[in-house]
Amino acid sequence: MGTRKALGRGLSALIPGAPTASRPGAPAGPPPADVEADSAPLYIAISKIAPNPNQPRRVFREEELASLAASIREQGILQPLVVRRRQDGYELIIGERRWRASQLVGLDEVPAVILDATDRAVVEMALVENVQRAELNAIELASAFQVLIHDEGMTQEEVGRRVGLERSSIANHLRLLELPAEIQQDVVDGRLAMGHAKAILQAPEPDRIRVRDQVVRQALSVRATEELARRVASSDASDKPARSGPTRDVFLVDLEDQLRRALQTKVRIVGRRGKGRIELHYFGDAELDRLTEKLLGGSL
Between CA 186 and CA 189, with CA 188 as vertex, the angle to 5 degrees is: 65
Using an 8 Å Cβ cutoff, are 124 and 34 in contact? no
Q: Which of 190, 195, 155, 150 is nearest to 172 (CA)?
A: 195
Three-state SS letters, 140-208? HHHHHHHHHHHHCCCCHHHHHHHHCCCHHHHHHHHHHHHCCHHHHHHHHHCCCCHHHHHHHCCCCHHHH
Element (H, E) at 285: helix 285-295
Distance, CA of 141 to CA of 145 (rounded, Å): 6
Instruction: Tell me the CA distances in angstroms from 294 to 43, 151, 218, 290, one per residue in order.
Output: 66, 50, 16, 6
Gap between the Cα atoms of 236 and 234, Å rounded: 5
- Residue 226 annotated in active site: no
Instruction: DSSP for 223-251, please give it.
Output: HHHHHHHHHHHHHHHHHHHHHH-TT--HH
What is the C-alpha separation between 184 and 189, in angstroms, rounded? 9
Considering 96, 124, 140, 256, which one is annotated as catalytic? 96
Cα dihedral 15, 116, 137, 64, rounded to 10, equals: 60
Whole-angstrom distance, CA of residue 15 vs CA of residue 223: 44
Cα 60 to Cα 67, 102, 106, 290: the distances in Å are 12, 14, 18, 38
Q: Known catalytic residues?
A: 96
